[in-house]
Structure formats: structure tokens, C-alpha cells
């Protein structure tokens, strides 16, 4: 067995190495990477016994943010300033989809972001092929990596990691390490973990949970004292204490009838759960952790203050306040890591999977996008997981939409003046009475209009009429 002096020297060496490592970042109070082997030394974490991940709010925040970003597909785009096209057979996308033999693209991205959210830094180590192309990616545990500086240059000192083909301690140049980090302050190369701000709240929340656990283990009976006005011998007091704990404490003693003797009286000492208001205190701890991670409370199941009626609105609040900054940082670093300039060629997350919420709202938005010439029908069908159709790659626009300048030059759109009715009605025309001779001529014309033309005109008189019809002469009178 090691002597206390040897144990103290070993602890001193561990702490010296830890302070040296932290001192490379400047202020040691800004890092929460605990010294290696602290659990073997019988020490407790500065935050909690099991680490901050044992607090549900911390675990849920890290798990939710990392999962929501990891599930989004990444696209490779080329933009020449006029048109933007997607690179379908991108080598970078293939590596991100299948980074190694034991992880999927979702697994490695989730691990990277979780390392960043818990330790402030996340690392991806690439393995290249004979053509110097990235063939595999391996996510390293952040506590096994730290920055080693030599003047203006720096390297990443990585402990042995057999899964990443690192058999011994290696010095990795910056171009061979993808380093994703959180907030940086005094050192541009090392991120500050959010647990620096959430440690106190998570520790308080865990203390409440441990207190509740002990409280309910005693069947919600607070501890107290057995008191009496008489004098008890030490052996008698010890015997009563042991018998009380054996018979009435814990689950076995629930519902038992306590028999007090020798004038004993039970007197509780601690407050009850209602008096301590543990629920309100625990809720405040959860709110504080969510505030540190910029996570809306409704994402942790607290719907008491939600005023939005649409799940899409809630998702946009979540994306704007929490996810957008992480995604923008990963997109820019990942584009640079794969040799892209970030402007004409870049990697970008596809947000359609994030806002794939209500079907009616989604279909209405896609229909308006197609009618407005923003998307083609095949692009809209692809978002819905449907196959392309012939002629669906054309951008459509409604015909009645014309430029404003064209409307200004048209004269047929000017309003016509309204025709006012006349002030006085028109005069009625005087009618001429019908003459008998005119009536006779009209009747005769209607009867004989199909007969051949007469050879002689007919002459009629009130008393004598001579008519020549078909060459005959007749006299009447």
C-alpha cells in the first residue's frame, strides 16, 4: 500500500499537470476540464458527484440541441453569382454521411456538438487516403486534446486513440484537426464551456433531487428526535434508537403503529416538502440551465408560458434563438475544413427537415412558392418526398402579374366618364292616322306579293274602279 507521502506527491503531480494545461489558456477559472484521475483520488467533481450530466435539465439540453442539428442533412452548393446548383456527388457529403466504420453521420455530428456543449470544444480527426483526400473522420474526447504552443505556431496534443489510428500520443497540426468551439474570450483557440455558468444551478438542482430522494426513502417523514423529561442511560437510549430505526424507518416501517415508552415524545426537526417549496426551487434551476443554453422552456416540457398556436412558430423561435448560431458556425468551419472558400462553394444545412411540421401549413407554403416563381414543382415535390414529373423543372408565374411601369403606360385602364341621363324626357312623336286607301294598298300588297307584275296600274275610285288583271278589262259601278 502506498504511503500518504507518495499519495500526496502523485496528487501534486496530477494537479500540476492540470494547472499547466489550463494555464495555456490563460485564466484557469474559465476552464472546467477536471484533473485526470480525480475520481481515483477520492475527490468529488467541483460541480456534482456524478457530473452535471446527471442533472436532467443539462442532459436534456445537450441531447436536444445536438440531436436536432445532427438530424439535418447537409448540402454542397456552388454559386457563380448568378445561379446556384447543388453538387450531387460531393466527396465531402459522402464522408459526412459515412465518416467511419463504427459511426453514422448522425452519430459523429451529435458527438461533436455534445462535446462542444459540455466541454466547450469538439474535435474531429481526419484520416486521409493516398490522394490526400479525407477518407474517415473520428470524433475525439475533448479532455484528451489540448493546444500545445511553440511561439506563433501551435499543435494539438492528442492522447492515444486506437479507434482513430492513433496508437501513441501525437502532435497534430491545425490543418489536420477540425476544432469546433463555443464562446471564446481570452484565448481564440479554446472555447469556454456553458457549464461554467450552469454549474451552480445544476448543483442546486441535484441537491434538491438528492434531498427529495432521501425524503421519500423515509416515506415522507422528516427526521426528528425522541425526547423525554426523564433520565435515560446511554445503553437504553441506544437500544431505543436502534429499535426505532429498525421498526419504523424506511418502507418496511410504513403504516406501523409507534409505541412510545418511558415518557418518550416524537418531535420533528426539519421542514416538510411543502414548506420548503422544492418544486419552485427545482423549476428555477431548470430555467437557469435552459437560459444558459438559450433553449426555450417549452422544449424541456414546460408549456405554462407558451402563447403560440402553431408548432411551426415554436420551431422558428427555437431555431432563431438557439440553433441558428451553432449551425452557422459549423457550416463555415466545415466548408473551410474541406477546402471550400465559403462564398462560391460551401456546405449548408437543409432546413426543410426542421420546419416539416404541420401538413396544411407546409402545403400552402409550397403552393405559394410554386405560384410565385420561387420554387419549381419538382423542388416542391422533392421536399415532400415525391418523384419528379416531366416539365416540373420549369419556373411558373401567373400571367396577370405585370410590371408597374407597364401599367403606367396603358391608357385603357383610365376610368371613363359616367354618362348622365337627360334632365327632360324626349318629346313624343305625333302619329299620323292611317288612311283607307293606304290600308287597302297594304292589304292588296300582302295578298298578291307573289303574283307576276301587273301590266297596267290599277285605278280605283270610291264610285268607279277599273282594274286590269292578267290582261282583262272589267268595269264596276
Please report, for the chain, the start and end positions of each structural domain, with discontinuous segments joined by +.
1-43, 52-218+273-310+321-351, 223-269, 447-476
Where are the extended beta strands (E) located within 191-258? Answer: 224-227
pLDDT at 433: 65
What pLDDT digit, counting tens, does each position of 380-436 carry?
Answer: 888 777 888 888 888 887 777 777 777 777 776 666 666 666 666 666 655 666 677
Question: Is the CB of residue 264 less than 8 Å from the CB of residue 229?
Answer: no
State the number of CA atoms in the 13 A half-sphere of 197 facing the CB: 15
- At a CB cut-off of 8 Å and minimum separation 6, what does 35 contact? 14, 15, 17, 18
State the number of CA atoms in the 13 A half-sphere of 325 facing the CB: 11
What pLDDT digit, counting tens, does each position of 311-369 carry?
Answer: 667 778 888 889 999 999 999 999 999 999 988 999 999 887 777 666 677 788 888 88
* C-alpha separations of 302 from 62, 106, 123, 164 in Å: 17, 27, 33, 41
pLDDT at 347: 94
**What phi, psi does 29 have (nearest 5°)?**
-75, -10
pLDDT at 431: 60
- Flag residues of the chain having pLDDT under 70: 1-51, 214-232, 244-276, 278, 305-312, 356-359, 412-434, 446-477
What's the burial of 327, exposed, middle or buried (CB within 10 Å: 0-12/13-18/19+)? buried
Rounded to whole angstroms, how far apart are CA atoms 17 and 3? 21
pLDDT at 170: 87
pLDDT at 80: 86
pLDDT at 189: 86
Amino acid at each position: 500500500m502506498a504511503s500518504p507521502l507518495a499519495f500526496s506527491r502523485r496528487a501534486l503531480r496530477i494537479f500540476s499537470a492540470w494547472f499547466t494545461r489550463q494555464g495555456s489558456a490563460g485564466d484557469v477559472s474559465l476552464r472546467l476540464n477536471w484533473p485526470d484521475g480525480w475520481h481515483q483520488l477520492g475527490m468529488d467533481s467541483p460541480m456534482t458527484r456524478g457530473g452535471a450530466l446527471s442533472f436532467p435539465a443539462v442532459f436534456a439540453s445537450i441531447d436536444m440541441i445536438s440531436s436536432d442539428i445532427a438530424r439535418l442533412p447537409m448540402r454542397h452548393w456552388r454559386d457563380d453569382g448568378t445561379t446556384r446548383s447543388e453538387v450531387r456527388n460531393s466527396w465531402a457529403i459522402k464522408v459526412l454521411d459515412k465518416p467511419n466504420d463504427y459511426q453514422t453521420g448522425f452519430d459523429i455530428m451529435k458527438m461533436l456538438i455534445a462535446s462542444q456543449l459540455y466541454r466547450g470544444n469538439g474535435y474531429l480527426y481526419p484520416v486521409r487516403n493516398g490522394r490526400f483526400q479525407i477518407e474517415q473522420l473520428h470524433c475525439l474526447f475533448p479532455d484528451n486534446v489540448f493546444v500545445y504552443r511553440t511561439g506563433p505556431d501551435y499543435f494539438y496534443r492528442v492522447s492515444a486513440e486506437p479507434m482513430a489510428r492513433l496508437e501513441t500520443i501525437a502532435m497534430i497540426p491545425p490543418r489536420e484537426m477540425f476544432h469546433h468551439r463555443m464562446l471564446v474570450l481570452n484565448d481564440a483557440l479554446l472555447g469556454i464551456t456553458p457549464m461554467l455558468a450552469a454549474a451552480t444551478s445544476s448543483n442546486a438542482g441535484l441537491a434538491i433531487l438528492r434531498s427529495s430522494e432521501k425524503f421519500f426513502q423515509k416515506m415522507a417523514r422528516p427526521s426528528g428526535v425522541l425526547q423525554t423529561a426523564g433520565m435515560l442511560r446511554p445503553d437504553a437510549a441506544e437500544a431505543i434508537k436502534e429499535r426505532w430505526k429498525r421498526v419504523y424507518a424506511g418502507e418496511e416501517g410504513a403504516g406501523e403503529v409507534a409505541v412510545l415508552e418511558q415518557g418518550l415524545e416524537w418531535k420533528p426537526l426539519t421542514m416538510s416538502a411543502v414548506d420548503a417549496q422544492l418544486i419552485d426551487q427545482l423549476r428555477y434551476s431548470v430555467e437557469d440551465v435552459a437560459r444558459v443554453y438559450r433553449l426555450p422552456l417549452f422544449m424541456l416540457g414546460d408549456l405554462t408560458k407558451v402563447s403560440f398556436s402553431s408548432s411551426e412558430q415554436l420551431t422558428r423561435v427555437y431555431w432563431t434563438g438557439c440553433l441558428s448560431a451553432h449551425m452557422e458556425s459549423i457550416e463555415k468551419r466545415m466548408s473551410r475544413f474541406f477546402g471550400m472558400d465559403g462564398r462560391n462553394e460551401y456546405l449548408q444545412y437543409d432546413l426543410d427537415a426542421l420546419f416539416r411540421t404541420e401538413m396544411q401549413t407546409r402545403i400552402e407554403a409550397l403552393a405559394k412558392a410554386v405560384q410565385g416563381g420561387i420554387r419549381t414543382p419538382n423542388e416542391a415535390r422533392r421536399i415532400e418526398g415525391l418523384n419528379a414529373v416531366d416539365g416540373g423543372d420549369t419556373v411558373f408565374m401567373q400571367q396577370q402579374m405585370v410590371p408597374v411601369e407597364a401599367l403606367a403606360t396603358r391608357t385603357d385602364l383610365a376610368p371613363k366618364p359616367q354618362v348622365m341621363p337627360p334632365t327632360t324626357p324626349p318629346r313624343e312623336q305625333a302619329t299620323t292616322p292611317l288612311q283607307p286607301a293606304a290600308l287597302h294598298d297594304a292589304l292588296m300588297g300582302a295578298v298578291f306579293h307573289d303574283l307576276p307584275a301587273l301590266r297596267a296600274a290599277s285605278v280605283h275610285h270610291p264610285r268607279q274602279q277599273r282594274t286590269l288583271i292578267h290582261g282583262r278589262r272589267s268595269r264596276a259601278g
